[in-house]
Amino acid sequence: MSSLFLRTLREDPADAEVPSHKLLVRAGYVRRVAPGIYSWLPLGLRVLRNIERVVREEMDAIGAQEIQFPALLPREPYEATNRWTEYGPNLFRLKDRRGGDYLLGPTHEELFTQVVKGEYASYKDYPVMLYQIQNKYRDEARPRAGILRGREFLMKDSYSFDLTDEGLAESYRLHRDAYVRIFDRLGLEYVVVKATSGAMGGSASEEFLAVAPTGEDTYVRSPGGYAANVEAVTTPAPPARPVDGLPAAQAHHTPDTPTIETLVDFLNGAGLGRTFTAADTLKNVLVKTRAPGSGEWTLLGVGVPGDREVDMKRLEVALEPAEVALLDEADFAAHPFLVKGYIGPSALAANGVRFLVDPRIAPGTAWVTGADKPDHHVVDLVCGRDFTPDGTIEAAEVREGDPAPDGSGPLEAARGIEIGHVFQLGRKYADAAQLDALGADGKPVRITMGSYGVGVSRLVGVIAEQSHDESGLIWPRGIGPADVHVVVAGKSEEIAAGGERLAAELDAAGVRVLLDDRKASPGVKFADAELIGVPTIVVVGRGLANGVVEVKDRRSGERQEIAVDAVVEHLVELTGTR
C-alpha cells in the first residue's frame, strides 16, 4: 500500500446518496468523470475483473462462446429494426467526418443477428450461444447512485439462436441456471421475478433483482409463490356484468370537490341513500404521449379507480416505446374541454381523446366521475352503457394486499436492483434480418432468439450495497481486491519485516494479499482496512515478540491470536486457496 495508487477519503462525496456509492468513492475504488461516467482505480478494477471472471466461467460452462463487438456502430443495422428511432433520447448518436450516422451500442441484438447470418447457413450449424462482456452506452435520463446506473457501464450480454421453440426454451433454461450460479457465487441475496420485455419485444421474460431498500425496482410476492416486477403485474378484471336494470346516470352539483377525498365526503353527506368510498369513483388522469421519432404529442386519458394513483413507471412500460409526460398548464389552456378536477369520459369521447382504463373498470361497473364542468360529477355512470373506453391499460399502482393475479394470495412488496435479465426474444430480430437456416428438407427455417444480460459493473455496486457496515465495505471471499489484508501495526524494524515476510509467504502460497506497509499510525491503517473491506485482516504488531499475530474477520469482527508459524497454513485454509 506504500506504493499503491490509492487515496481514501474520510468524508462522503457530496453527490452520493446510497451507501455503495459513498463507500466505493471513499475507499478509492472509483472516481467520477461526468454524470454516470466513472473511472476504475486499482482496487475497483480488481473487483470488477473478479466479477467478470465468475460471469465468464459460468457462461463458458453452458457452452456459450465469447466474442467482442465494437461499441462504435453504424446506424444501418439499428435502422433495419427501427431501434435507431425507438431507442429515443437514450441512444448516444454521433457523426463521422463524412457525415455518416453512428451510435454507441446500448445493446447488441442487431450485431449478433448479423454476425450469425454472415457465418451460418445450415440447420446443422444450430443451436449456438454467443456472448460478450463489453461497455454499453445509454444516455440515461437519471444516472444515479454512482456505478449502479451509469451512462457507460459493463454488461455481459448473450444471445441464443435456435431452430425451434423447444430449443429456445432449453437455451433460456441454461442461461437462467447459469445466472443462479453466478449470483450465488457472488453471495448475493436476490429474487427471480416475472418481467416485461420492454422495447425488446418477445415473450417469456424474468429479471433477477438483488434485494435492496435503495433499489429502483419494486417487486411483489405472494405466499403461493407468485413473484413479479410491479411493472409486469396484471390486474384480474372482474367479469363483465349486464347493464340491464342498473340505475340511470345522474349529474349532481358537487361544489368544491376537486379531489377524491372532498368528493367522497360530499357524496356521503348528500343523502343519496348509500355510502361511497374512493374506490367507487373513477379518476381520469390526462397525459400526453409521443411516438419515437415524431415531434407530436397526443392526449391520452387514463382512468383508474379513485382510491389508486397512476404509477408513472407502470404507465411508461405500458406505453413503451412511446414517451409519456403529464400535462402542464399550457396543455390545459390549449384544451378548454379539459376541466381540471372534473374530467369525465364524455368530453374525452366528444373530443377524440383516446381513453384507456384500468381492468377493474369492466363492462357493467358503475362509477362516480367528473361531469366535465366545474363543481359537477355524475353518479352511476356505467361502463359499456354510458361510456366505452378504447381499451384497458396496466397503469394503476399495485398495492400490498392486492390479490396475486394467479390467485396465490395477497401481494407483499419490496425493492430491488436489477442485476440480470433473461428473455425469449422469439423471431423479432431474425425477422428483421431475415435470419434463416436451410432445413433438412431444403426449406428455410426462421431462427428464434433469446437475449440475456448481466450488469457486470453494476454488480460491484450491488455487492457493496448489500454487504457493508458503518465502517466500510465487506467483500465476499474471492471477489474483493484481496482475500487477506496484512496491517503492519508498529514502528519497529522487526514488526515491519514480520509483516513483509508474512505477506510474501501468503503470496507464494497463492493467497491474494494486500500489505499495509505505509508509515501511518495504526489507527489510520485500521480505519482504512475496515473501509476497504478485505474479508480477513491480519494485524502484525506487538504480539509478534511473543510469536503471535491477530487474525480478524471483517464481517463478524471476531479476533483470534494465531502463532506466526501456523498463520500461513491457517489463512490458506480459511481463504480456500487450496
Reduced to 3 states (helix: H, G, I; strand: E, B; else coil), residue 367 is strand
Can residue 51 be called a binding residue for ligand ATP (CB under 6 A)? Answer: no
Which residue of 129, 357, 419, 447 would you call a contact of ligand ATP, by CB under 6 A?
419
Q: Which three cell numbers stand for residue 18?
A: 446510497
Q: How far is the CB of 82 from ligand ATP (least distance, A)?
A: 17
- Cα–Cα distance, 465 to 20 (Å, whole number): 5
The answer to whether 93 touches 137, Cβ cutoff 8 Å, is: no
Can residue 458 be called a binding residue for ligand ATP (CB under 6 A)? Answer: yes
Residue closer to ligand ATP, measured from CB, 55 or 532: 55
Which residue of 420, 480, 481, 499 would you call a contact of ligand ATP, by CB under 6 A?
420
Can residue 231 be called a binding residue for ligand ATP (CB under 6 A)? Answer: no
The answer to whether 178 touches 170, Cβ cutoff 8 Å, is: no
The answer to whether 230 touches 209, Cβ cutoff 8 Å, is: no
The answer to whether 128 touches 65, Cβ cutoff 8 Å, is: yes
The answer to whether 539 touches 546, Cβ cutoff 8 Å, is: no
Q: How far is the CB of 64 from ligand ATP (least distance, A)?
A: 15
- Cα–Cα distance, 232 to 193 (Å, whole number): 9
End-to-end CA, the chain = 26
For the chain, count helices (H), then strands (E).
Answer: 15, 31
Can residue 194 be called a binding residue for ligand ATP (CB under 6 A)? Answer: no
Can residue 316 be called a binding residue for ligand ATP (CB under 6 A)? Answer: no
Which residue of 455, 481, 490, 533 would you call a contact of ligand ATP, by CB under 6 A?
455
Other CB atoms closer than 10 Å to residue 274's CB: what's the count? 8
Q: Which residue of this chain has its Cβ atom nearest to ligand ATP in the complex?
A: 455
Q: Give the range of 96-104, 389-397, 416-424, 519-527 binding ligand ATP by CB under 6 A.
A: 416-424
Can residue 150 be called a binding residue for ligand ATP (CB under 6 A)? Answer: yes
How many residues form the binding site for ligand ATP (CB under 6 A)?
Answer: 15
Residue closer to ligand ATP, measured from CB, 50 or 158: 158
Which residue of 110, 386, 418, 516 would you call a contact of ligand ATP, by CB under 6 A?
418
Q: How far is the CB of 314 from ligand ATP (least distance, A)?
A: 13
- Cα–Cα distance, 508 to 516 (Å, whole number): 18
Q: Give the range of 281-289, 452-460, 484-492, 545-553 binding ligand ATP by CB under 6 A.
A: 452-460
From residue 146, how far is each of 12, 15, 278 by CA, in Å? 13, 9, 41
**Helix, strand, coil shares, percent, the chain, to 5:** 30, 30, 40
- Cα–Cα distance, 490 to 522 (Å, whole number): 7
The answer to whether 283 touches 306, Cβ cutoff 8 Å, is: yes
Residue closer to ligand ATP, measured from CB, 120 or 137: 137
Residue closer to ligand ATP, measured from CB, 131 or 153: 153
Can residue 421 be called a binding residue for ligand ATP (CB under 6 A)? Answer: yes
Those residues whose C-beta lies under 8 Å from the C-beta of residue 501, and which sit 6 or more positions away, are none
Q: How far is the CB of 153 from ligand ATP (least distance, A)?
A: 3
Which residue of 26, 149, 283, 485 would you call a contact of ligand ATP, by CB under 6 A?
149
Q: Which 151-190 residues touch ligand ATP, going by CB under 6 A?
A: 153, 155
Q: How far is the CB of 18 from ligand ATP (least distance, A)?
A: 14
Can residue 59 be called a binding residue for ligand ATP (CB under 6 A)? Answer: no
Q: Give the range of 61-69, 412-420, 512-520, 538-546 binding ligand ATP by CB under 6 A.
A: 412-420
Can residue 111 be called a binding residue for ligand ATP (CB under 6 A)? Answer: no
Residue closer to ligand ATP, measured from CB, 155 or 511: 155
The dihedral over CA atoms of 4, 6, 8, 14, expressed in degrees to the nearest 10, equals -170
Which residue of 50, 107, 257, 424 would you call a contact of ligand ATP, by CB under 6 A?
107
Query: Which amino acid makes up residue 253?
Result: H
Task: State the burial class of residue 273 (Cβ atoms within 10 Å of its Cβ: 0-12, 13-18, 19+).
Answer: exposed
The answer to whether 452 touches 175, Cβ cutoff 8 Å, is: yes
Contacts with ligand ATP by CB under 6 A lie at: 107, 138, 140, 149-150, 153, 155, 418-421, 453, 455, 457-458
